[in-house]
Structure 1
Amino acid sequence: VRTVKPELVFEIGFEGINKSSRHKSGIALRFPRILRWRHDKKKEEADTLENLKLLLDPSNLSPDK
């Protein structure tokens, strides 16, 4: 388990998002990649885990499906 201090903002691209019981966040990104370092954004402007969870497809609501 890795925890980082929220200081830098990166734009992340991914192919899909699923609910996961294996990860502390409760989600797993499919093929995640860093698109760019957002020097123009402050950490307070970064999106939240709660907003990311809203992207979950209702058909993927069971863990590790």
Structure 2
Amino acid sequence: MNITLNGKIVFLDKKMMVDELLEVTKAQTPEYVTVQINNEFIDKADFGITPINEGDTVEYLYFMGGGQ
């Protein structure tokens, strides 16, 4: 199954949920990542029940704070 992850084509050997994808792709600081699938934000509570489907476009987004 092919998806686009952060702008790159990635092959997945099986269907998986968002939480599995984060683990398989070794996402940096997965506890802080925001996931968007096909331009829709996925609630962290739904990572374990939201499937990744053939052709999906997935983005890992990291929001950083800072300043004075």
* TM, length-normalised to structure 1: 0.27
Which structure's CA Rg is the greater one?
1
Task: Write 1 or 2 for the structure with the bigger share of strand.
Answer: 2
